[in-house]
Amino acid sequence: MSAKIKYTDEELGELKVIADFLPSPEELAFKEDTVKVTISLSKESVEFFKQEAKKHKTQYQKMIRRLLDVYSASQQQPLTRRSTGRAKKRRAC
């Protein structure tokens, strides 16, 4: 249980104006460029994303889209690929 706030009629002291640092509503309401596609996914994959989306209170399509965005961005990094853990065996000469 929270305590009641007691207000007093005291002077506030010197006030400082802070510059507006929050983004405008227009900046918050941006819409990404998207393209509609039709894709067939496995039932298991869709169920997984639906369950996870429910846990995180979001839409499963957004989770799939974000996953694809992250993957495609990581593949566009030149010469900085992470190792897959499968090193090529060198032949002894």
How large a percentage of the chain has pLDDT more than 70? 80
Number of folded domains in the chain?
A: 1
In a domain, 51, yes or no: yes
Three-state DSSP class for residue 46: helix
For residue 13, being part of any structural domain is answered with: no
pLDDT at 55: 95
Q: Which residue has the higher pLDDT, 10 or 60?
A: 60
pLDDT tens-place string over residues 58-75: 999 999 999 998 898 888
Tokens of 57: 């209170």
State the pLDDT at residue 74.
Answer: 85
For residue 78 the two structure tokens come to: 């030149």
With 60 as the cut, is the pLDDT of residue 31 above it? yes
> In 3D, which of 72, 67, 69, 71 has the Cα closest to residue 52?
67
* Residue 14 belongs to some domain of the structure: no
Q: Is residue 16 part of a domain?
A: no
Residue 49: CB atoms within 10 A of its CB come to 19
- 86, pLDDT greater than 60: no
- What range does the domain containing 70 cover? 42-75
